[in-house]
Amino acid sequence: MGRIGNLLKKGITNPAIIYLISRYGTYIIQFINSLFIAVYLGPYYLGIWGFINLVTGYIGQINFGISHSVNVIVSINKQDEEYVRKIIGNGISMVICLSIVIVMFFILNKIGIVQIGSKYNFSNYIYPIALITALTHLNSLLSNIFRVFGKIHAIAINQTLYPVIVLFVIPFFRGERLLWAMLITNSVAFVISFVLFLVQTPVNIKPLFEWKVFKFIQVKGWHLFIYNTSFYLILLTTKSFISSNYTVSEFGYFTFSYSLANVVLLLLNSISFLIFPKMLNRFATSSNEQITKILTGLRSAYISLSHLLIHFVIMVFPLFLLFFPDYSESSSVFKVTALTIVLYTNSFGYQGVLMAKGKEKLIGFVALSALFLNIVLSAVLVYIMNVSFQYVILSTLVTYLIYVTVIGQFGKIILEIPFSFLSTIKEIFPIRMMIPFVLSLILVFLETPEWFFVMPFVLYLVLNYNEILGVKEIVLKVVNDSNFINI
pLDDT digit string (tens) for 49-106?
888 887 777 777 777 777 777 777 777 776 677 777 788 778 888 888 888 888 887 7
CA dist 35 and 473 (Å) reads 33
Cβ partners under 8 Å of residue 236, min gap 6: 54, 57, 58, 61
345: Cα within 13 Å, side-chain hemisphere: 30
CA dist 486 and 289 (Å) reads 18
Output the pLDDT for position 485.
47
Output the pLDDT for position 435.
92
**Which residue range forms the structural domain that includes residue 454?**
2-486
Give me the count of residues in the chain. 487
Output the pLDDT for position 162.
83
Output the pLDDT for position 376.
93
Output the pLDDT for position 436.
93
pTM of the model: 0.69
Output the pLDDT for position 96.
84
- Please report, in tens digits, the pLDDT of each residue of the chain (487 residues total): 455 455 445 545 555 566 666 666 776 777 778 778 878 888 788 888 888 887 777 777 777 777 777 777 777 776 677 777 788 778 888 888 888 888 887 777 777 666 676 677 777 778 888 888 888 888 888 887 777 776 767 777 777 788 888 888 888 888 888 889 888 988 888 888 888 888 877 777 777 777 777 777 777 777 777 777 777 778 778 888 888 888 877 777 787 777 777 776 666 666 666 666 677 767 777 777 888 887 877 787 788 888 888 888 889 888 877 777 777 777 788 888 888 888 888 888 788 788 777 777 888 888 889 989 999 999 999 999 888 888 888 998 999 889 888 888 888 888 887 767 777 787 788 888 899 999 999 998 888 888 888 999 999 989 888 877 766 665 555 545 545 445 4
Q: How many domains does the chain have?
A: 1
